[in-house]
Structure 1
Amino acid sequence: MLSEKPSPPFSDLISNLNHTASTPDVPPVTCIFSDGFMSFATNEAAQEFSIPIIHLWTIPACSFMGFKQYRMLRKKALAPLKDTNYLSNGYLDTVIDWILGMKNIKLWDLPTFLLNTDPDDILFNFTMDAAEQANTASAMIFHTFDVLELDVLNALSSMYPRVLAIGMLSLLLNKLVKEESPLKSFDCNLRREDTKCLQWLGTKEPNSVPHVNFGSLAVLEREELIEFAMGLANTKLPFLWIIRPDLVNRESAALPRNSSKKQKEGVWLPTSVHRRQF
């Protein structure tokens, strides 16, 4: 696993930067600002050079708190699942009553990497280890709002030296960076964005367009994709559906031309955004 060894190149980078820091214009490295999931590469360097490290988590605080429970779930033999029957036999309704700041939580409310039967699952173990690495951080920043997750943020603040909620990073980028700044070339999305849908969306009444997005990790079977498409078509509503090219397991995510009788009344965008007009 990636987390078993730190990345020597990062330590080498810090060493080289400090070695060349001989003038006020080239100061030494005094703080490391790391993605929380990259701590396997950055934490050891921070300890080696006695540099404070700040973890940025681009996930909600409740998701991090969920990952933080993985070790205890494994210790109590609650996860990973014993077999696939546990997905549908009511087991996921098991109440988890020890999580600070998160009341009435059940297993199926927690991050879904626990929904597998392999104790060596890479994502389960990687996220569990990443959450535990947060113990070395001088501060943690979460991509969330105080009013949205106040209870869990307060709980985390009782466990770590400093916990901050930074809100929507994309909104901060738009607000703080001037149009002529080179930083405007940075994007919060690793995929190419298709903005053609915004003009179409502007023609719709407020709160009238369902938005469907499976995120960056979920994978569907082709039959599931088509069933979702049929369900959306049957709502008789215009909708906006974000579809990654790799959303369908081992197949193209392109919908068949005959996937809906309403196809002639709408347009499927050929890239990552699908819109439908009825």
Structure 2
Amino acid sequence: MNDLQLHAVMVPFPVQGNINPLMNLAHLLSSRGVFITFVNTEWSHNRMSTAAAAAESSACTSKFKFLVIPDGLPPDHGRFSKLPEYLSALEKLGPILEHHLLCSLTDGTPPITCIISVNFMSCTYEVANKLGVPRVIFWTFCAASSIAQCNANLLLSHRHIPVKVEDLKRADKEITCLPEFQNKGEYVLVNTFDEVDAPETVSALSINGCPALAVGPVFIPNFLEGKNLNGLVSLSEQDDGCLKWLDAQEPGSVIYVSFGSLAVKSNEQLEELAVGLEKSQHPFLWVLRMDIVGGKPGTLPEGFVERTKDRGLIVKWAPQVKVLSHTSVGGFVTHSGWNSRLESMSMGVPMLGWPYFVDQFLNSRFCNDVWMIGMDLKGVDADENLVVGREEIEKGLRRLMEGSEGEELRKRGRELKEAAFKAVAEGGFSFLNLNRFMHDIAQLSKTASRKMA
């Protein structure tokens, strides 16, 4: 057992924002000698572009393979448009996952030693239990947001949320009512770093005293090695041509606009955004998904594309990390998903928050009032029918890109970028935590193997 080969099964929730960070973590572990089985549902696998599917095939090596399983729903099921049914199906995925995993253990494949899944995939607990291996929970949100979400009702009852800015530094408003976090697993990893989530915050996600460690930003080491892992598992075809367009723009001049893979907008809101971008007079790169208006493309104001063709570019999807790392990008209008926030912070790009749902409102507020690398777009609300006007959008864009306020955000951005890269570099906080995880999971796996013998 001294030469136990670690074999980690990676199970994301089948959305872009979960697949990307888990894929990056998988490659970090693979580079440390861990055999990886990465699980995709048939639905998410089939949504991948031809280029991504080809890249996936080339990524399959003797120590890294993909496993595609059904999610139990018909191909034409709406999934996210029928979210309760979809979540129910994923909760019942345990027996299907277990069957396919056991069938995949061919000669030369080491025994499974742990299952690493995002927190949403609770079905992996029963699979890990039946296989007699540890379950590792990987949080794809920041630690503070994860804690708040898991205790939302309690925080509401104690009037800690909605958060009031004036209460942030008041000692008598310190949150002391949270119980020990409960989720089933033997280890917790969080895609964050110590500059934005203190170790004691991450530790609050511990399960019955097990380690809870920050190991992010997990995309940076792969990015530095030139691995475009987000493109590898992209559910939309990326337009790399936008990078050449960025090459022709002035340093720090471009506003990058993207609302992620799930947020939707009304046609009226898109028109207001378009006019706000036009009136701002700044160059812009706008990711405008083909399904952004209830599954359909949006309609832009008449003549908008022609009037802005000399300083604007619209694409269906973009290689976001490469865009944010480009010297011409000076600001990011974002839905405030944690991946986007983390990538932007890691590249030192200040943000204008336009949150949509789930953790995004808290992320936006933290970036504004705690991490000091962003600002909130005024008028944004959880009410999807509320339209933010063009004047407010123009004002927000100018605040982000011009004057002393924007410059202070850029200064803070440079500090956070340095901290993020330091965290994952050899000897850094997240680097050492990942090494500790490797050691600990090997010990847990050996213990589990002896119990099963």
Question: 2:116 aligns to what?
Answer: 33
Listed as ranges, the matches of 1:1-278 within 5 Å are 1-2=88-89, 4-16=91-103, 25-40=108-123, 42-72=124-154, 76=157, 92=162, 135-150=183-198, 152-157=201-206, 161-175=210-224, 187=232, 189-259=234-304, 262-269=307-314, 271-272=316-317
1:104 and 1:233 map into 2 onto residues whose CA distance is 43
Describe the shift of the 1:240–1:263 C-alpha distance in structure 2 as closer, same or farther (beyond 3 A). Answer: closer
Contact 1:58 1:142 (C-alpha < 8 Å) held by counterparts: yes
Deviations along 1:55-97, one digit per CA (max 9) or x if unpaired, are 22333223322321235368x499xxxxxxxxxxxx95679x9
1:260 and 1:28 map into 2 onto residues whose CA distance is 56
Describe the shift of the 1:168–1:141 C-alpha distance in structure 2 as closer, same or farther (beyond 3 A). Answer: same
**Letter of the 1:35 counterpart:** V
Of 237-246 and 58-67, deviating more is 58-67
Mark the runs of 5 or more structure 2 residues left unpaired by the alignment: 1-87, 168-172, 176-180, 324-453
**Letter of the 2:216 counterpart:** G
Q: Percent identity?
A: 32
Describe the shift of the 1:246–1:196 C-alpha distance in structure 2 as closer, same or farther (beyond 3 A). Answer: same
Q: When the two structures are aligned, how many residues end up with a matched partner? A: 220
1:45 to partner: Cα distance: 0.7
More relative contact order in 1 or in 2 (CA 8 Å, sep 6+)? 2
1:243 to partner: Cα distance: 1.9
2:225 and 2:310 map into 1 onto residues whose CA distance is 42
Secondary structure at the counterpart of residue 122 of structure 2: helix
Deviations along 1:199-240, one digit per CA (max 9) or x if unpaired, are 222333333222222122211100001101111111100122
1:165 and 1:226 map into 2 onto residues whose CA distance is 40
1:29 to partner: Cα distance: 1.3
Of 142-151 and 247-256, deviating more is 247-256
1:218 and 1:185 map into 2 onto residues whose CA distance is 18
Mark the runs of 5 or more structure 1 residues left unpaired by the alignment: 79-90, 98-102, 106-131
2:304 and 2:231 map into 1 onto residues whose CA distance is 37
Describe the shift of the 1:56–1:272 C-alpha distance in structure 2 as closer, same or farther (beyond 3 A). Answer: same
1:261 to partner: Cα distance: 7.5
Secondary structure at the counterpart of residue 251 of structure 2: coil
Secondary structure at the counterpart of residue 254 of structure 2: coil
Describe the shift of the 1:77–1:250 C-alpha distance in structure 2 as closer, same or farther (beyond 3 A). Answer: farther
Secondary structure at the counterpart of residue 191 of structure 1: coil
Describe the shift of the 1:185–1:209 C-alpha distance in structure 2 as closer, same or farther (beyond 3 A). Answer: closer
Describe the shift of the 1:63–1:152 C-alpha distance in structure 2 as closer, same or farther (beyond 3 A). Answer: same
Report the TM-score, using the length of structure 1 for normalisation. Answer: 0.63
Secondary structure at the counterpart of residue 156 of structure 1: coil
Structure 1 or 2: larger helix share?
2
Report the TM-score, using the length of structure 2 for normalisation. Answer: 0.41
Describe the shift of the 1:135–1:250 C-alpha distance in structure 2 as closer, same or farther (beyond 3 A). Answer: closer
Contact 1:145 1:166 (C-alpha < 8 Å) held by counterparts: yes
**Letter of the 2:136 counterpart:** I
The CA RMSD over aligned residues, in Å, is 3.8
Secondary structure at the counterpart of residue 29 of structure 1: coil
1:170 and 1:218 map into 2 onto residues whose CA distance is 22
Describe the shift of the 1:226–1:32 C-alpha distance in structure 2 as closer, same or farther (beyond 3 A). Answer: same
**Letter of the 1:43 counterpart:** Y
